[in-house]
Structures are given as structure tokens and as C-alpha cells.
Amino acid sequence: MALLVQKYGGTSVGSVERIQAVADKIIKFRERGDDIVVVVSAMSGETNRLTAMAMEMMEQPTPREMDVLLSTGEQVTIALLCMALEARGMGAHSFTGGQVRILTDTSHMKARIKEIDGTRIHAQLEQGNVVVVAGFQGVDEQGNITTLGRGGSDTTAVALAAALEADECQIYTDVKGVYTTDPRVVPDARLLTSITCEEMLELASLGAKVLQIRSVEFAGKYKVPLRVLSSFEEGPGTLISLEEESDMEDPAIAGIAFERDEAKLTVTGVPDIPGIAYKVIGPVSEAGIEVDVIVQNAAADGSNDISFTVKRGESEKAKKILEQVATSLKAREAVLDKKICKVSLVGVGMRSHAGIAAKMFKCLADESINIQIITTSEIKISVVIEEKYLELAVRALHAAFELGDPDYIPNSN
């Protein structure tokens, strides 16, 4: 008999009918003899709906009250799911984060889990009940309701699996698992049977939004076997494996991630002296703007160009800051380019396979795509290119690295 933690996301519990379908599914697992702890999100769209109402009350809603508000979404779904289970003759018991006692720090809207008390959950399992826990929420030492940040139910599920020493944490979602890239861009993208935790982290932080990044970090740290699978279709999904190394047979590249809403800022003609990178980047990050790729290039004439990327939504704010910096440093100019994107190859096999970068650059050159910035890490190569080439680049790379599904049948209509 195994202990499974199963998480059902917003679309999986998006309507009364879907909640009933989830109940049917859980009963099937239960009938195989496994103990089940379920974590649910709010019904799809609910967290956004609540946020919109809050914004009508005040421009910057008080974080503590936001948590009181947002946590209601998940409280609805735990109760409804338990009712659906009970109506089917299955004993079920719901817990809010506070009732379990998922203890977090006090950082409202981005709280971190400190400790989980498994006592009440174990007691319910022993009575033969399915336990249904509200995702995304916890309480701090004082009993204030906290939430874990958008998409936080994934993290609740993995953290619970770690605390309860579950045999597997299964994330049921609206896709079949993790693909080599977004199937909406590359129709023959292949469903991966497994991917290393490290690769998943890179793919997740690079824009593949299957799992909340923090949940993957958590799974790696606490060695929780994690699986992503569809709640609508049968199939094994993708296992996020804890193995350090992938198979010898595995291709060097696991997948291609991309990020559309990026912008590039460049300041040119900065004097080439110590402390310059700090003077340029410092004020931007002090303003709370997350800086992604950074390149600095010293020219022979003793001047410097510094480019970096930020989220497009924050780029105008970053540009204002950069203009002030440029003036104070007597730089030539500060330029903003909003029409860029980032495409990245990810794979642990890169460590042992030479020539991946060269192959990537040749592929892009063959498509006449200009690379503006290149950055690499041990298991990743990213390029910044003009946004209009995003689809072309991803498709060309996917084909060049032979990532496609050999069994893919193009839709003929």
C-alpha cells in the first residue's frame, strides 16, 4: 500500500462536474488500496477574480487582507471535493492550511513553509478517509493566514509529500506532462517520460510554466518523487527524477524553453572603470526590478557597453532609472528594445556532449536569425533574439536537435 499525494490544479476543479470527475478518479486510486492525500487549487479563474475585486477596494491591497481573501478560493474546493467523495460513499475530511498546521513565515503573499504537522492527516488516513488539503495557504506563528505565491498549491503538495514521506507526489494538470517544448509552438513536441530535477528547474524558470519553480526546488531538496500528469487523459505523465545523471542513451538536450515578454536595455559609452556594473545594475535591482541576462563588453577605446534584460512590463520603469544613471555616468545613451525574446536549450547531457553551442548557433544562422546576447551555464544555453523569430527559432532548433515525436501524425484538416 502506497501513500500518494495528489494535487489537482484550477482547471481540474474548475466546475462542479470537474470536481465530481476528480472524486471518481480518487475513488479508483483508493480502491487499489492506496492512501490518498489530495491538495487542491481554487477553481480556475477564482484567484484572479478575487484579486480584481481587491484592486477595486484599494490600489495596493494590504498583503495580510489579500491572504485572508485569496485563501478562500481553496477553502471552497476542499469542501466541495469532500462532499463529492462522501456522496460516493467515500469517507473524506478537509483541512485548511491552518487546520493541518502548515506553518509558514509571515511574508504575506509569498510565504515560505517552515514546518508541517502531519498528526491530524495521519489520524484521518488511519480511519480510512481521503484527506483533502487546501493548497497555497498556511499560517504564521501568530495564526495569521498566509499564502505561498501564485501557483503555490504545487509547493503545498510537494511539501506535504515530504513531510508525510509519501511514495509519490502527483501533480494532475491540464497537460499530459512535460514536453520537449510548448506543443502550441511545435506540434510534434514530445512528451518526456522523465526529466531530471535540475533540467526541470531550468525549464521551469525559463518559461515552461508546468510547475511552480519552488515546488521543483523542494522536490530536489527533500528527495520527493514528483510526477506531472493529466487529470483528463490516462497516461504515465512525466517523472521528475532525482537521479543526478541522465541515461547514456538520452539525448544531450531535454528541451527548449522560451520567454516572450522580455525587454533589453543597453547603456553605451560607459567609462571602463571598477564599479561600473554595480552603478548600472544596482539602482535597477534596488527598484525591485528583476534583472535577467547581463552582458558587459569593454571596447578597445576604454568605454563599456552594458546590456541586460528585464520583464517587458517593468522595462519602462527600468529605462527611466537607466537614463538617470546614464546622465550621472556621462554615458553615451540608454536604449530600450521591447521586441526581444529568449530561447534556451536545456539538458544535463550538455556536460558530456561537445559542440551543442556551435550546433545551436549554426541552426540559427541557417535561418538568418541574428543572436543579440548569448549566455550559458553548465546545462543551458540561452540566446536573446528578435521576438518575431521566436517560433521559427524554436521550431528550427527542435528539428535540428531531433527532439520531435517520431509517432506524431500531423492533423490533416
Residues that bind ligand ASP (CB under 6 A): 10, 41-42, 47, 73, 135-136, 150-154
Q: Which residues pair with 146 in a beta bridge?
A: 138
Q: Which does 304 bind (CB under 5 to 8 A by kind): Mg ion, ligand ASP, none?
A: none
Half-sphere exposure of 297 (CA within 13 A, CB side): 12
Of the two residues 37 and 348, which places its CB atom closer to ligand ASP in the complex?
37
Q: Which does 255 bind (CB under 5 to 8 A by kind): ligand ASP, Mg ion, none?
A: none
- Nearest distance from residue 70's CB to ligand ASP, in Å? 7
Residues 86, 132: Cα–Cα separation, whole Å: 12
Of the two residues 10 and 177, which places its CB atom closer to ligand ASP in the complex?
10
Long-range contacts of 316-324, Cβ-Cβ distance < 8 Å, separation of 24 or more: 317/287, 317/289, 318/263, 318/265, 318/284, 318/287, 318/289, 319/265, 321/283, 321/284, 321/287, 321/289, 322/265, 322/267, 322/280, 322/284, 324/283
Residues 216, 334: Cα–Cα separation, whole Å: 37
Of the two residues 218 and 308, which places its CB atom closer to ligand ASP in the complex?
218
- Nearest distance from residue 39's CB to Mg ion, in Å? 11
Strands 102-104 and 145-147: unpaired
- Nearest distance from residue 29's CB to ligand ASP, in Å? 21
Which DSSP string corresponds to 169-201?
EEEEESSSS-BSS-TTT-TTPPBPSEEEHHHHH
Residues 398, 228: Cα–Cα separation, whole Å: 22
Of the two residues 99 and 266, which places its CB atom closer to ligand ASP in the complex?
99
Residues 413, 410: Cα–Cα separation, whole Å: 9
Look at residue 342 and give its three-state secondary structure: strand
Of the two residues 231 and 304, which places its CB atom closer to Mg ion in the complex?
231
Q: Which does 347 bind (CB under 5 to 8 A by kind): Mg ion, ligand ASP, none?
A: none
- Nearest distance from residue 47's CB to ligand ASP, in Å? 4
Q: Point out which residues bind Mg ion (CB under 5 A).
A: 9, 151
Of the two residues 21 and 76, which places its CB atom closer to ligand ASP in the complex?
76
Of the two residues 209 and 223, which places its CB atom closer to ligand ASP in the complex?
209
Residues 404, 236: Cα–Cα separation, whole Å: 19
Residues 289, 310: Cα–Cα separation, whole Å: 7
Residues 303, 256: Cα–Cα separation, whole Å: 35
- Nearest distance from residue 41's CB to ligand ASP, in Å? 3
Query: Would you give the DSSP letter of residue 275?
Result: T
- Nearest distance from residue 252's CB to ligand ASP, in Å? 33
Q: Which does 6 bind (CB under 5 to 8 A by kind): Mg ion, ligand ASP, none?
A: none
Of the two residues 219 and 393, which places its CB atom closer to Mg ion in the complex?
219
- Nearest distance from residue 41's CB to Mg ion, in Å? 6
Which DSSP string corresponds to 227-248?
EEEESSS-S--EEEE--SS--T
Q: Which does 136 bind (CB under 5 to 8 A by kind): ligand ASP, Mg ion, none?
A: ligand ASP
- Nearest distance from residue 135's CB to Mg ion, in Å? 8
